[in-house]
Amino acid sequence: METKHDLLIQNKRDIQFKFSIRRKFTVIRGNSATGKSTLFQMVSDANSSRQSGVTISCDVPVKALYEIGFKYELENESGNIYILDEDFGPLKSREFAAKALKSENCFILITRESLASIPYSYKEIYNIKTSGKYHSLENIYPEYDSFHECDYMVTEDEDAGLEYYQSLYGDKVKSSHGNSNLSKSGGPDTLLIGDGCAIGTSTEKYCSELLSDLTRNTSAQYTKSKLNSCYLHQCCCKGTKCDFYTRSKKID
């Protein structure tokens, strides 16, 4: 789920945090003493009293989330941005993940822990960049814009996705049989192929369903269980990879 909210959080002592969030889950980690706890504390102060000296500018409410009361908040509130600090005990729990995923809120998670149940993208993992009293976010991981074939390759998919990569790179591509096993697969020289969103269930499910709907009852019908050869072989008169969609669903 993509979204975009611009946040400006500042106090009367000119401590300022200015950044944007682009997905449901944003993770902040990095060195100690960069302002993570200060950010959380300022949001917490702004929430807890009317004249706190902290102002928050955003198109939706920005709130601190605490262990006490988080279940009620996530079950009953929507349209908020919640910020959680590293002392938030339930962060790694399945219960929190389930409620957060189901809720219609965004989350800023201050943690160095790996959260297997939360679908956050590597593109939304940030350090706090500090310039005096001014703070912003910077990506920890670079964007990967090219794909390099490796001697060992593992994909989280075991059906159509595996078949697709094997058609391109042969038997060197194995399946980890699910996203939760992906990080446990292979060795130091293995290329792991997963959804850009760490778990990716929502994106993958959406894309699979969309593709299935678009191709239903055509010879290019997509199913996740077995990859239609239409997606593997050159099949149109233009001599390119199947450009089914540019030809008004007509296949020669």
| DSSP labels, 217-248 | TSTT---SSS--GGGTSB-STTSSB--GGGGT
Rounded to a whole number of angstroms, the minimum distance from the CB of residue 161 to other proteins is: 21
Nearer to other proteins, 193 or 227 (CB): 193
Rounded to a whole number of angstroms, the minimum distance from the CB of residue 49 to other proteins is: 18
Q: Which stretch binds other proteins (CB under 8 A): 108-116, 155-163, 226-234, 235-243?
A: 108-116
Tokens 């290329």: give the residue.
191
Return all residues near 32 (Cβ < 8 A) that are at least 6 apart.
none
Contact 163, 226 (CB under 8 A): yes
Rounded to a whole number of angstroms, the minimum distance from the CB of residue 113 to other proteins is: 6
Contact 106, 10 (CB under 8 A): no
Nearer to other proteins, 24 or 36 (CB): 36
Site for other proteins in 72-91 (CB under 8 A): 85-87, 89
Contact 63, 69 (CB under 8 A): no
Q: In what order do the strands lie in the sheet with 190-193?
A: 173-175, 152-155, 190-193
Rounded to a whole number of angstroms, the minimum distance from the CB of residue 238 to other proteins is: 44
Among 51, 187, 213, 250, binds other proteins (CB under 8 A): 187
Site for other proteins in 109-168 (CB under 8 A): 111-114, 130, 132-133
Among 34, 167, 202, 203, binds other proteins (CB under 8 A): 34
- The Cα–Cα gap between 183 and 180 comes to 7
Rounded to a whole number of angstroms, the minimum distance from the CB of residue 26 to other proteins is: 18
- The Cα–Cα gap between 231 and 246 comes to 14
CA distances from 138 to 9, 10, 32, 131, 153 (A): 17, 18, 15, 12, 30
Q: Is 16 in the site for other proteins (CB under 8 A)?
A: no
Q: Is 185 in the site for other proteins (CB under 8 A)?
A: yes
Rounded to a whole number of angstroms, the minimum distance from the CB of residue 148 to other proteins is: 21
Nearer to other proteins, 156 or 163 (CB): 156
Binding site for other proteins (CB under 8 A): 13, 15, 29-38, 41, 85-87, 89, 93, 111-114, 130, 132-133, 183-187
